[in-house]
Amino acid sequence: MTDTYLNLVNSGVTKKLAQQLGLPQPAPLRRYRAGTPLVDGPVLVLGRGKDADALAAVLAGPAGGAPGSTVLDGWDLDVHRHASPDTRYAAVVVVLTDVEHPDQLAGPVLATAGVLRGLARGGRVVTVSREATPDDAPALAAARQGVDGLLRSLAKELRGGATGNGVVLREGVPVTAPSTLGAVRFFLSARSAFVDGQLLTVDSDAGALPASWDRPLEGRVAVVTGAARGIGASIAATLARDGATVVAVDVPAAGEQLAAVANRVHGTALQLDVTAQDAGARILAHALQRHGRLDVVVHNAGITRDKLLANMTPDKWDSVLAVNIASQLRINEALLTSGDFADEPRIVSLASTSGIAGNRGQTNYAASKGGVIGMVRATAPLLVPFGGTANAVAPGFIETEMTARIPALTRQVARRLNSLQQGGQPVDVAEAVAFLASPAAGGIVGRTLRVCGQNMVGQ
């Protein structure tokens, strides 16, 4: 759905009027297009020590190294190591892994402050830090946890479609680990247009850098449920763009739309109610018979039946829980016990910011989506022995047929309640799903990534 207001405040007379009246002026976001560079301009890497040097070497190094390598396969970016207020930076990467006391934050953070006014439209700020743990000394824990607060606050200050996100490394994870580099690249890229104010933890050095950043899912077979329309159709298209063979799944009633999606992505269609007891077995059988393997499952199918809890009925409660979480649990169990879902498998489930912060009139939906977050956290360790992962993506306000039915004034308010002051697009969710399904996310385990423009609710 088109955001008419966004278009009006970015052109002609209405742009000047909005400026004079002090109205919100959301900027058009920089989204991924094939053939465009990772960033449009120089990248400033701040921080001292070997981690900052190593990451800068990858960003600046010549491209075309050996597939699966870390340092040899560089990104060929124009990397600066010292801030210049006269340079218009496309991105700033702040490496804080060696910070041991809050006093040590001042240098790199204030150096960042000195270049923010000149940050390019659609620019990126990415922090790389270590996870705070209960075993840390108080000063160390304070410094590491402080990065969380400063990053989220900084993201709320950025303008012009710029975003701020952080990569948090667990102890022992190298700054050049595949998933560290994968997360940094995702946050720098236009693929993360509607991800803002988020910190994504890298749990291990598992995973691998893809032979091609443009087609990281080459040779993989992916199932997408709820694929006939909206976010599901966009996920199917994005996974196919990244090289995957896609099995598009939806209910028989959506058969015509489902076939159209499958044809567009050169995949296959499977008409199936995900709440069926044998849904997992049928999904696996279809993938094996038609494509010889199954590597990625994206649980996107979901419904809403909104009512205040005082007015909730059993049918509205039960149907939402059945589709949104019980079906996923049943399908996952079938896959995990089959022996045929064991080659670095990926499960990516759609949660929601409602499952994190709650939403009036959505106790059933929020319970189901909170359940998804708990499910991936508990399922992920079961996949680790096979080199696999389970993670979730939690969308905020996304422009879909469902949100188009919201009353006009409520819809406008919902669009502006995030740092980017606009709704996301289905492709924004799809890009996050595609990243978490990729080899480069193999060290990200049981996490939930919000795609919400830094919505003003929740974490």
Q: DSSP readout, 380-411? A: HHHHGGGT-EEEEEEE-SB-SHHHHTS-HHHH
pLDDT digit string, tens, across residues 144-159: 999 999 999 999 999 9
Q: Give 76's pLDDT tier (boundaries 50, 70, 90).
A: very high
- The answer to which of 33-37, 217-221, 246-250 has the lowest mean pLDDT is 33-37
Q: Residue 276's CB: how many other CB atoms inside 10 A?
A: 13
- Region 439-448 average pLDDT: 98
Is 80 exceeded by the pLDDT of residue 89?
A: yes
Sheet with 79-80, strands from edge to edge, namely 79-80, 43-46, 91-95, 124-130, 163-169, 199-202
Name 351's Cβ contacts closer than 8 Å, sequence gap at least 6: 369, 370, 372, 373, 376, 392, 393, 394, 448
Is 80 exceeded by the pLDDT of residue 456?
A: no
Q: Give 369's pLDDT tier (boundaries 50, 70, 90).
A: very high
Is 80 exceeded by the pLDDT of residue 63?
A: no
- Residue 243 φ/ψ region, left for φ over 0, alpha for ψ in the -120 to 50 degree band, beta for the rest: left
Residue 437's closest CA among 194, 257, 207, 278?
207
pTM for the whole thing?
A: 0.94
Is 80 exceeded by the pLDDT of residue 412?
A: no
**What pLDDT does 457 receive?**
62
DSSP single-letter state for residue 62: P
Q: Domains plus CATH for the chain? A: 30-202 (3.40.50.720), 221-451 (3.40.50.720)
- Region 69-81 average pLDDT: 75
Burial 162-187 (b: 16+ CB within 10 A, else e): bbbbbbbbeeebebbbbbbbbbbbbb
Q: Give 71's pLDDT tier (boundaries 50, 70, 90).
A: very low
Q: Give 459's pLDDT tier (boundaries 50, 70, 90).
A: low
Return the SS3 of 13: helix
Task: Give catalytic residue positions.
Answer: 365
What is the rounded CA–CA span in Å between residue 174 and residue 407? 48
Name 294's Cβ contacts closer than 8 Å, sequence gap at least 6: 221, 223, 283, 284, 287, 288, 335, 340, 341, 345
Residue for token digits 């705070």?
132
Residue for token digits 């924004």?
428
**What pLDDT does 66 receive?**
43
pLDDT digit string, tens, across residues 255-269: 999 999 999 999 999
Is 90 exceeded by the pLDDT of residue 193?
A: yes
Better-predicted residue by pLDDT, 16 or 38: 38
- Region 294-301 average pLDDT: 98
Is 80 exceeded by the pLDDT of residue 455?
A: yes
Residue type, 215: R
- Region 393-407 average pLDDT: 84
Q: Could you tell me how many residues make up the chain?
A: 459
**What pLDDT does 69 receive?**
45
Name 369's Cβ contacts closer than 8 Å, sequence gap at least 6: 324, 325, 351, 352, 354, 355, 394
